[in-house]
Structure 1
Amino acid sequence: MLGKHSKLFFTVSICALIVSIVITTWGFPKIIKRQVQKNVQIDNSSVMFEKWRKLPMPLTFKVYIFNVTNPDEVIDGEKPKLAEIGPYVYKEYREKTILGYGENDTVQYMLKKSFVFDAQASGTLTENDELTVINLTYMGVLLTVNTMMPAIVGAVNEALGSFFGNLTYPFMQIKVKDLLFDGTYLNCDSESSALSLVCGTLRVKRPTTMRPSDDGKGYYFSMFDHWNTSIGPYEMVRGTENVNELGHIVSYKGKRTMKEWGDPYCGQINGSDASIFPPIDESNVPERLYNFEPDICRSLFVSLVGKRSIFNMTAYYYELPESALASKSANRDNKCFCKKNWSGSHDGCLLMGVLNLMPCQSAPAILSLPHFYLGSEEILEYIYDGVSPDSKKHKSFIYLDPVTGVVIKGAQRIQFNIELRNMPTVPQLEKVRTGIFPLLWFDESAEIPVSIQEELKHSHMLLSYVNTIRWVILVVAVAATIAGAIAVARSGVIPACAPHNSVSFLMHPAHAATLDINKH
């Protein structure tokens, strides 16, 4: 009777072990993954949806401006001396307007940014501060004309006097608020044929930094006012069908590739809008995370550095690497971002750490990392004083929660520059040194507030409990199986445990009996 019960217990424990193995290795992970997907997918019922639609806290937008302390000497051929002034701090609010849902599990939306000056965080700095900076519009017009019709550069330079209000000079004094958001007026109401050419070109290919005046007789130039409007539409994967595709930008303004670079590889739209990423599969951690940036008409990537601890949580840490803005010789994948004749001494492919935005912005602005971090030494040699790259201050990075894909902390740091080029037909430029001249850089950063930190920690705690439970179930099943095996062995049901010799263990009992008779 005991043997019968032992066999039953052993059979049940074996079945329980098989079931627990299936549950532990397949069932629980699938349930957990599905529950995480329900919480992070872009759906009205998800925990993440409202946080994605309207950012629960403002980003911090800091601007640092390069004040030129020796403009007249630069005109005479000396190296620039710069003084970095900042940060001018703004609160950046983000909100999305959903336009609809499309095929292939996508959502279409517009992104609205709003910037509010933070006087307290800016300290003694105010938007009314007046600084001397490189005149990006002046140099942009002359560089563009020089590329199209170099013979008329001199005539255009003379006509720019009325365009800028009697100013033809590669530097300008300007209030911070006018440079960043309010704008400085550019007058197109003139009889000059050269100026008509410039203004006509602006009407056809107007940079995003220019907005038409209300009377239609001119434009206002500012660096960031176009960010104070809705941009898009974006089309993004919602992650309800495949959570690994969550956040992937499928198209922007109806375009699935960016034609500006004239190359399908460089025109790829990769990654997210940096507001959401898919959860990380610990067995297949991505080496790169891509972020699509409409203002530069391309995607940038950050590379995996490793696991880090932040706010008492474990996160994956990514940084923008040198290869992202590397020259063609260092990263051949970047060759299609090169454009000839953008520089007096280079073809756009030779300098590390810069990107010519002319194809994207219809203006010869040059993007780099702050203080030319990870850039060519040649760029740094052009500046006499005021530029000093520092990894801690100037790198771009992301800390990503592996469970939810939430950005725990991140910073995007970008600098805008323009070439100051020697032009013999322009009196103001006939002695200047040719080189890349910095205007300003911004630090767009965020970290999740304490309330969301606690939510994440609570989620991680629950997940750890679930993981503990599934291993406890497996351990109990293994223990029960071992106990059942021992009980069966002790009951004598298994022949191996009976007091017979090795031959009787291998052979049928009848055969064993025959052998015993033959011995007598």
Structure 2
Amino acid sequence: MKLFAAGSRSGRILKLSSVGIALIIVAVLMIAIDPLQLLIDNQLTLKTGTLLYNLWLKPPLEVFISVYMFNVTNVEAFMSGQDSKLKLVEVGPYVYQEVLENQNVLFNDNKTVTYTPQRTVRFIRERSVGDPTVDEIMAPNIPYLGVMSAASAYSIFAMMAVNALTKKFNSKPMLQLSVHDYLWGYEDPIVNLASKIVPSVINFQRFGLMERMFDEGHNVVTMKLPKKLHANDEGVVEETDRDFSIDNWNGKTGFKNWDYNEERNTSNTPCNTLRGTYDGTLFPRNIHKGETFRVYRKAFCRSLPIQYSHPETVNGFKGYKFKLKENAFDSDLGDSETSCYCKNKRCLKKGLGNISPCYYNIPLAVSFPHFFNGEPSLLENIEGLSPDKDRHGTDIIIQPQLGIPMRVRSRFQINLLMGNVKYNRGVSQFKNMALPIFWIEMGVEDLTPGVKMLLTLLFRVCPCLQLGVVITLIAIGVYLVSSALLYCFWAPTAWKTFNSTMEQAKNAEAGLKANVGFLPLLKQPTIVEMKNLPKQSKAVNQKRPDYDVTLLPLHRNVVA
């Protein structure tokens, strides 16, 4: 008789223990391998057909651009000198939605991907305070004041020539226009003349600052894909470039407007280097606390540093809040991160960031709204501004495992910088002022339903499901192994009785076939009951006896 024959006690013990141990091994392997993480790593790789690729092609983020205008209420009194301060009233928001789509995607052999970002903007009436085509404001004439301010840096004769030209066009320092025309384009004789003189530079006849800012043109961006870490000569594991950072923009790795030199990298600084920045739609995965990223948007004419602040939850999901550095718009010759913004070694006041090289050298500057974190002197000649940290700061909450923005509040203000225009009586009141034009909040208020479902599956449902499977496998495995051990060392009475009866039946059948007495083979006394069977055919009689034998176990105190 084989030791582990089918149906034997030892065979059953082996089966129970083998299945139990196998289930426990599977559970341990699931803990060690983490199949959920493998699935996440596979689907969050930027390659054709993956989940991340489809999300990146058309980011499922509802980006709203809220524009707040500054309406000048005392033009005549200020221009005549009756009022010493320019009075402003904030009007807004006028809300637009921006939709981004990445097109012409090409994966390169050097672990980069090249694409063309395409942005479209549409007006959202239900979120706005009014109709921008109807609402009118009084605001600075940017082309006229910009030309006058730029001319102030040259000789008095240049200023006189510009003054004569603007008088011919009957230009005025302030314009009353609809909000839509002021933002998206209005006819201006100076711009019209410039477009005829230098059409390669001024290729438009209507001037609107929002139109200039968000008309980024055709750009070809190359982004770096994740690379494996490698060890240097000293054996230290290092990573030169973070994944999903910009490698070059239109073939350039730096800002030519800020004196970036492609040939002499040693002379470049962080403030004029584009490589290594992020476009704000996708950040590295597995972000750590304390990190700092530089975000580039062409409209800013610079990269902006955001640094880790503290953890925060959005709709119950873990996130890291990053804030724009308080000196993000500063320029300081002693700071390598901002020194390149000092043109001709001349820096702007604290809180103002020069963006004129990106806007046809019109003296424009970017700042926090209401000159928050700016030099107090910026508010001396202006009434109606109230800097507030909560309302005018910039922050972004990023999901650290995936590197996607969950909530964004990017706020900045566009200002017109006036030089020493004291020799022009028509604009002398604006001497050395920073005139607020409007401020913008680019925000992602909430996650879309699709992103919420994705985060719920990745960080709630799937981990719980995987944990439940592991616990179930371990529980069943432990139960089976324990049952095998109990069955091995302590068999219940029912099992013993059943086994004894089965053994008796087998021995009895074996005795009949051998045509020998089988009563001595029984382990306990039995009564053999013989019943006459009906006559059957010879074929049947050859296979079974004429009597039906029934074994009736007796109690041990009964004598056979």
TM range (shorter): 0.7 to 0.9
Asked if 1:237 is matched to 2:224, the reply is yes
**Does the aligned pair in 1 maintain the 2:62–2:448 contact within 8 Å?**
no
Match of 2:317 among 313, 318, 329: 313
Q: Which residue of 2 aligns with 1:179?
A: 182
Write the letter of the residue equivalent to 2:293: L
Equivalent residue runs for 1:391-410 within 5 Å: 391-410=389-408
Deviations 1:63-104 (A, max 9, x none): 111111112233244211100111011122221212422232
Residues in 2 aligned to 1:185 and 1:136: alpha-carbon distance in whole angstroms: 10
Residues 278 and 32 from structure 1, CA distance in 2 versus in 1: closer, same or farther, beyond 3 angstroms? farther
Larger radius of gyration: 2
* Amino-acid identity (%): 23
Q: Which residue of 2 aligns with 1:369?
A: 368
Structure 2: stretches of 5+ with no match in the other structure: 1-19, 230-238, 261-267, 483-560
**Does the aligned pair in 1 maintain the 2:183–2:208 contact within 8 Å?**
yes
Q: Shift of residue 340 of structure 1?
A: 4.2
Deviations 1:25-58 (A, max 9, x none): 6x33xx5554323222322211122222123354
Q: Which residue of 2 aligns with 1:268?
A: 273
Match of 2:98 among 85, 89, 92: 92
**Does the aligned pair in 2 maintain the 1:110–1:230 contact within 8 Å?**
no
Deviations 1:277-332 (A, max 9, x none): 12224xx4352122112223321121111111211111111111213223428955
Structure 1: stretches of 5+ with no match in the other structure: 1-12, 191-195, 213-218, 342-346, 484-520
Match of 2:207 among 221, 233, 238: 221
Q: Which residue of 2 aligns with 1:504?
A: none
Q: Which residue of 2 aligns with 1:458?
A: 457
Residues 325 and 228 from structure 1, CA distance in 2 versus in 1: closer, same or farther, beyond 3 angstroms? closer
User: Which SS does the other structure have where 1:232 is aligned?
Assistant: coil
TM-score (structure 1 length as normaliser): 0.75
User: Which SS does the other structure have where 1:132 is aligned?
Assistant: strand
User: Which SS does the other structure have where 1:295 is aligned?
Assistant: helix
Q: Which residue of 2 aligns with 1:140?
A: 146
**Does the aligned pair in 2 maintain the 1:326–1:354 contact within 8 Å?**
yes
**Matched residue count:** 453
**Does the aligned pair in 2 maintain the 1:36–1:403 contact within 8 Å?**
no
User: Which SS does the other structure have where 2:220 is aligned?
Assistant: strand
**Does the aligned pair in 2 maintain the 1:43–1:238 contact within 8 Å?**
no
User: Which SS does the other structure have where 2:222 is aligned?
Assistant: strand
Q: Shift of residue 151 of structure 1?
A: 2.6
Q: Which residue of 2 aligns with 1:111?
A: 117
**Does the aligned pair in 1 maintain the 2:224–2:243 contact within 8 Å?**
yes
Match of 1:257 among 254, 258, 267: 254
Residues 431 and 189 from structure 1, CA distance in 2 versus in 1: closer, same or farther, beyond 3 angstroms? closer
**Does the aligned pair in 2 maintain the 1:318–1:397 contact within 8 Å?**
yes
Q: Shift of residue 367 of structure 1?
A: 0.5
Residues 48 and 459 from structure 1, CA distance in 2 versus in 1: closer, same or farther, beyond 3 angstroms? same
Q: Which residue of 1 aligns with 2:417?
A: 419
Residues 141 and 397 from structure 1, CA distance in 2 versus in 1: closer, same or farther, beyond 3 angstroms? same
**Does the aligned pair in 2 maintain the 1:325–1:354 contact within 8 Å?**
yes
Deviations 1:347-400 (A, max 9, x none): 325x222101123333211011111112121212231x2111112221111111
TM-score (structure 2 length as normaliser): 0.70
Residues 467 and 405 from structure 1, CA distance in 2 versus in 1: closer, same or farther, beyond 3 angstroms? farther
Residues in 2 aligned to 1:410 and 1:399: alpha-carbon distance in whole angstroms: 6
Q: Shift of residue 122 of structure 1?
A: 1.2
Residues in 2 aligned to 1:338 and 1:33: alpha-carbon distance in whole angstroms: 47
Flag the structure with more relative contact order, 1 or 2, with Cα contacts below 8 A and sequence separation at least 6. 1
Residues 229 and 338 from structure 1, CA distance in 2 versus in 1: closer, same or farther, beyond 3 angstroms? closer
**Does the aligned pair in 2 maintain the 1:247–1:273 contact within 8 Å?**
no
Deviations 1:243-298 (A, max 9, x none): 983321111111111121114212211322111112224xx435212211222332
Residues in 2 aligned to 1:474 and 1:316: alpha-carbon distance in whole angstroms: 35
Residues 15 and 47 from structure 1, CA distance in 2 versus in 1: closer, same or farther, beyond 3 angstroms? closer
**Does the aligned pair in 1 maintain the 2:69–2:438 contact within 8 Å?**
yes
User: Which SS does the other structure have where 1:104 is aligned?
Assistant: coil
Q: Which residue of 2 aligns with 1:443?
A: 441
Q: Which residue of 1 aligns with 2:540?
A: none
